[in-house]
Amino acid sequence: MSQSSIEWTEMTWNPTTGCDKVSAGCKFCYAEVMSSRLKAMGVDKYKDEFKVRIHESELRRPYSWKKSKVVFVNSMSDLFHKDVPIEFIQKVFKVMKENPQHVFQVLTKRADILRYYDSEGLLNWSHNIWMGVSVESQKVEHRIDNLRATNARVKFLSCEPLIGPLPKLNLKGIDWVIVGGESGRKPRPMKPEWVTNIKDQCLDADVAFFFKQWGGTNKKKAGRQLEGQTWDGMPSIANEF
Ligand code: SF4
């Protein structure tokens, strides 16, 4: 586990590492770049660079954290990648359930696999497991339907990097929406009207809205204000922790 600079979480925990690209949102995958760096530094966990690997030893970690944490699960992978055995996913879920003092945020682009496992009754949910799907453009909005069909107690969308408008989001059953622009050397632009439109849809539907960043080539300078303010909405269940 390590401290995270991601604005909507506190820590990251990676019981699996590695992945491969599935949609346009993956184009400049941070995890891929970072895995390559960590391999070059000789970090054992990344010796196969971006190949999917499971790490049984990581399963013990959450039991040892003293204070309550908000934890982003698998910042360096996708828990629902086809190469992660369901038995291992179930072990991760067991760890999360047995540590109700922490919030675990799981984010996937493989919403079809998530839905399938859930429909088969293979996932044992608890209130502290927040399940999210990435929605970078209208092309992948079907992921929201897959998420909605699951029994996850808290459901969220990560619209980052937002690379197109999402004017007709179906937010039924959704608790939280995060929006962010792409950063790096050649970021794809995010139009302000796309962001304000999503924010307005969230306000209308009474869904918590979090604006992470504008992104761009100078992420720090571009900042994270929208219409003169920061938007740090979190699901109301967050108040219970
Ligand atoms: S799903 Fe996530 S971790 Fe996997 S390649 Fe795409 S952006 Fe990277």
Q: pLDDT tier at 98 (50, 70, 90 boundaries)?
A: very high
- Give the position, in ligand 1's atom list, of the atom nearest the Cα of 108: 1
- Give the position, in ligand 1's atom list, of the atom nearest the Cα of 76: 3
Q: Measured in angstroms, how far is the CA atom of residue 66 from the centroid of ligand 1?
A: 30
Q: Is residue 237 pLDDT above 70, yes or no? A: no
pLDDT at 240: 54
Average pLDDT for 121-148: 98
CA distance 105 to 81: 16
pLDDT at 238: 56
Q: Is residue 118 pLDDT above 70, yes or no? A: yes
Q: From atom 8 of ligand 1, which residue's Cα is the shortest distance away? A: 29
Q: What is the pTM of this model?
A: 0.95
Residues in the chain, how many?
Answer: 241
Longest dimension (CA), the chain: 49
Average pLDDT for 110-133: 98
Ligand 1: residues within 6 Å at CB? 19-22, 26, 29, 31-32, 77-78, 109
Q: Write out the two tokens for 157.
A: 């969308």
SS3 assignment, position 70? strand
Average pLDDT for 2-30: 93
Closest CA to 160 of 177, 181, 187: 181
pLDDT in tens, 190-212: 999 999 999 999 999 999 999 99
Average pLDDT for 109-131: 98
Which residue type does 42 have?
A: G
pLDDT in tens, 25-61: 999 999 999 999 999 999 999 999 899 999 999 999 9
Could you tell me the sign of the dihedral formed by the alpha carbons of 25, 9, 34, 212, in that order?
positive
Say if CB 148 and CB 9 are below 8 A apart: no
Which range of residues forms the domain containing residue 77? Answer: 2-240
CATH code, domain carrying 129: 3.20.20
Q: pLDDT tier at 96 (50, 70, 90 boundaries)?
A: very high
The structural domain count of the chain equals 1
pLDDT at 2: 72
pLDDT at 211: 98
Q: Measured in angstroms, how far is the CA atom of residue 78 from the centroid of ligand 1?
A: 7
